[in-house]
Structure 1
């Protein structure tokens, strides 16, 4: 990616320079579990966290990619272990949480990064219900299952940090062909934001990252996305690390609050119109 194109993407999606000392203070000696660690944002984030002193638990479906990453991290002086887990197989998720509990006794930071995207016209989806099941399982139910399994460990040790790598698409109005993806990613985002209100008393915090379009293998099949300025993979990983340093709140494009405000206003107007219409029709 050229300098000019990267500058444009940083302006459009937001950019965070990571305070290396701050990141080291946040993760040194801590156990950090990263899902979707074999490729893309998860892989780049895991490398940065290990370099900062974290003991990284690498989770994904591809064992050989995880093994390669763990070997690279170890060769660079870091600490990492590869644990192949398919988040859509809930028995495997149970096995993962049991292993982490028995071997490490704690998880200080959970980075929920694994995800799947399907963009397809509804007229081409009549016989593809399985795709919606897959989206819900990998983007919502699997992460919920893992989070529920690890929360008792965090509570037992006085707290922890949940980091959700969401997508800027969850903060946009619904898009054609993205319904399943936006709905499943939004479901986990909303579940976490609702759940953390109950967890603050246990010292458990939530930081959410809403990265823009990142040129990864997940987005590669969608040709029209390549017209957008992509967020550099290293910049995306920096957003995740910045969220860990901050330890709470949201990180994403600076224009998201404007979208939220406009959407809220439109919804309020629509609600008032519907209420008035219903009153006159009654």
Structure 2
């Protein structure tokens, strides 16, 4: 179904998905999807085409979302396109103003928008903006949205789905400082807020994902032949979360990485610089 290799089928074993249960759960609900114009957000929006949900698609690429709207509304769902660059506070404020005037309120927030940067620190000395823009979309944007939308979600016994990464649960990797710090910041915020949201009858779910075959990973050549999840598969995990209220999804093998990160932290701290030095030396000699 997902055009997986044998290895990918082994790595990405998750609970089976029941489309009818998802449809019954989401019919007539209002669902906000950030990062909706491609990848996971796009796949999830198309998954809901045969529901009677009202989908609010948010991303920068308005033309792409308008094309999605035309296709999705051939089914029974209705779509509102709201173009916004969530890195910019003024545009986040505009989105929130629109959401607060919705006559039917808001039932679900799928927090999917994000950015990834793979760049060594020594190449970042004059690129402070890499860190500010990464924090803006991966941390400040979802925090501001949720602080404003929690009262709306509370009225509807709503749900928040946070699309995260396995990196926040593992030993940090070189060259990913901006990305990992921003994703870890929001993961900590969301886990801290979770119990408070629960007593407000707001369900929370976090998907800790490995590589996913989205446009975001294309600039990293090392990922070209790496095992990666299908966005459609991730969309179904989101759908599964919405009818089961499951709080966490992560690959079955992630615990091995977590144990390794904890038990072998000192050897890793010693080995990684050695590997970086060797790579730098080979690059100079090559």
Q: CA deviation at 1:245?
A: 2.2
Q: Alignment partner of 1:98: what SS?
A: helix
Q: Name the structure 2 match of 1:67.
A: 66
Counterparts of residues 103-252 of structure 1 (less than 5 Å): 103-157=102-156, 159-252=157-250
Q: Name the structure 2 match of 1:255.
A: 253
Q: Structure 1, unaligned stretches of length 5 or more?
A: 269-282
- Distance change >3 Å, CA 235–CA 79, structure 1 → 2: same
The 8 Å contact of residues 94 and 149 in structure 1, kept in 2 or not, is answered as no
Q: CA deviation at 1:18?
A: 1.3
Q: CA deviation at 1:50?
A: 3.3
Q: Alignment partner of 1:47: what SS?
A: helix
Q: Name the structure 1 match of 2:81.
A: 82
- Distance change >3 Å, CA 3–CA 240, structure 1 → 2: closer
Q: CA deviation at 1:266?
A: 5.5
Q: Alignment partner of 1:242: what SS?
A: helix
- Distance change >3 Å, CA 239–CA 10, structure 1 → 2: farther
Number of residue pairs matched?
Answer: 268
Counterparts of residues 12-23 of structure 1 (less than 5 Å): 12-23=11-22
Measured in 2, the distance between the counterparts of 1:230 and 1:262 equals 21
Cα deviation 1:190-224 (Å, max 9, x = unaligned): 11111011111110111111222112211001000
CA RMSD of aligned residues (A): 2.2
Q: CA deviation at 1:54?
A: 2.1
Measured in 2, the distance between the counterparts of 1:264 and 1:26 equals 39
The 8 Å contact of residues 208 and 243 in structure 1, kept in 2 or not, is answered as no
Q: Name the structure 1 match of 2:283.
A: none
Q: Structure 2, unaligned stretches of length 5 or more?
A: 267-286
The two structures have a TM-score, normalised by structure 2, of 0.87
The 8 Å contact of residues 33 and 57 in structure 1, kept in 2 or not, is answered as yes
Measured in 1, the distance between the counterparts of 2:265 and 2:103 equals 47
Q: CA deviation at 1:17?
A: 2.7
The 8 Å contact of residues 16 and 235 in structure 1, kept in 2 or not, is answered as no
The 8 Å contact of residues 49 and 75 in structure 2, kept in 1 or not, is answered as no
The two structures have a TM-score, normalised by structure 1, of 0.88
The 8 Å contact of residues 36 and 42 in structure 1, kept in 2 or not, is answered as yes
Q: CA deviation at 1:38?
A: 0.3
- Distance change >3 Å, CA 173–CA 180, structure 1 → 2: same
Cα deviation 1:36-78 (Å, max 9, x = unaligned): 0000110001111232332111011111111111111112232
The 8 Å contact of residues 105 and 153 in structure 1, kept in 2 or not, is answered as no
Measured in 2, the distance between the counterparts of 1:68 and 1:45 equals 15
Measured in 2, the distance between the counterparts of 1:266 and 1:19 equals 40
Q: Alignment partner of 1:206: what SS?
A: strand
